Amino acid sequence: MRTEVLIIGAGHSGLAMSRRLTEHGVEHVVLDRGEPGNAWRTERWESLRLLTPNWQTGLPGHDYAGDDPDGFMGSREVADHLAAYARAIGAPVRAGVTVTSVAPLERGYRVTTDHGVWEADAVVLANGGSGIPNVPAHAEGVPSGVLSLSAKHYRSPEQLPEGGVLVVGASASGVQLADELARSGREVTISTGEHVRMPRSYRGRDIFWWMDAAGVLDERWDEVDDIVRARHVPSPQLVGSADRAVGIGALHERGIRIVGRLGRVHEGVAQFSGGLANTVRLADLKLDRLLERFDAWAAETDAEVGPVERFDPTVVDDSPRLELDLVGEKVGTVLWATGYRPDYSWLEVPVLDYKGRLWHEGGVIPDAPGLYVLGTSLLRRRRSTYISGAAHDSAELAEHLVEYLGGRESARAELAS
């Protein structure tokens, strides 16, 4: 089987690229191991909601048209949204196809699947950045009688055994899960390292309205000083709700134990850094700088917003716990909310570094002409991390891809003559 372009993944990025290639008249096929939006339907916890408001879920040629633009979609709603989008654009999706290998040919790539082999002039890796839970090595120290579970495999509090829960990681996933588990009656401890404090709304507007309007989401990858670090900054401590806060201070007020970064688990005892006070202070300072940027933009543009606000410093215990005996203190579960990494185990193209990371320049992989990546954090700009970023990223990468295909056709014509 052969096609000009093969897209791996029928999530929001893969479908957005499909729409762009259709606009350019480029023959292509989209492969996915499930249906469009499969990961949102099968690999998310039940109560999950998007961090971004519904008005920010538009895709190429398909803006949000529902009756709740300021609401937040749940994971099943996102899956339905993507399935409807795939139908609306007539995306050529081959569902239930698992890719097992992508290897270079003299011209193009060979993509091997459990349903046959494809050859394509170009391949777009749109399988997303959350393929494999990024569970640290010290998870091996968790005692055998304590459940060790990644956020990717968590579904609801009822799934967990009796006892308290240690949540490791305080990005959006970690704080949301700590909050949910505490509300279910569990005794919860959350271990936090670097994190991004952010209010749900500021001066009468959703925080994503501010980041969009003030240009934060449009900062490009090649304008960032340390792009590798920036692509691994934790997601903001938010939840898809206008009336619920999940920052460290709010969790502390609800009786959740806040501790520092997990250093190791030794002989069944979790040991934490003593730098919690400095960690939360740094997050507070970064929040203040962000709000000052918003205030300056509002003053320059005479934006119709509410009065200037400032938030109290985050409060944590003066002497936070440095150790937690998991068995002795009846912790039944350690829940790893420590992020994800893309799954490129099937990629037989020499473009990964020693840590298994894929190096690219805004989605273009310079060491493998005709190979592209979409759907990862800060791919081309900060909004790339969210669904709405796919519209911008796919437009620019599709233009690059079409130019690449045109150059190949010119080379073939020259050889033929």
Tokens of 249: 């201070």
Tokens of 99: 């890719």
Q: What is the mean pLDDT of the chain?
A: 94
Whether pLDDT at 391 is above 60: yes
Whether pLDDT at 406 is above 60: yes
Quick: pLDDT tens for 161-217.
999 999 999 999 999 999 999 999 999 999 999 999 999 999 999 999 999 999 999
Q: Of 76, 51, 46, 378, whose CA–CA distance to 246 is shortest?
A: 51
> Residue 415's pLDDT is what?
34
Whether pLDDT at 413 is above 90: no
What's the mean pLDDT in 9-27?
A: 97
Quote the strand ranges of 318-390, DSSP E: 323-325, 331-336, 340-341, 371-373
> What is the 3-state secondary structure of 315-357?
CCCCCCCCEEECCCCCEEEEEECCCEECCCCCECCCCECCCCC
3-class DSSP assignment, residue 360: coil
> Residue 228's pLDDT is what?
87
> Residue 395's pLDDT is what?
97
**Distance between CA atoms of residues 73 and 341, nearest Å:** 24
Whether pLDDT at 416 is above 90: no
Ordered structural domains, the chain, with CATH: 2-131+342-416 (3.50.50.60), 135-336 (no CATH)
At 280, which amino acid appears? V
Element (H, E) at 148: strand 147-150
Q: pTM here?
A: 0.93
The phi, psi pair for 125, rounded to 5°, reads -85, 100
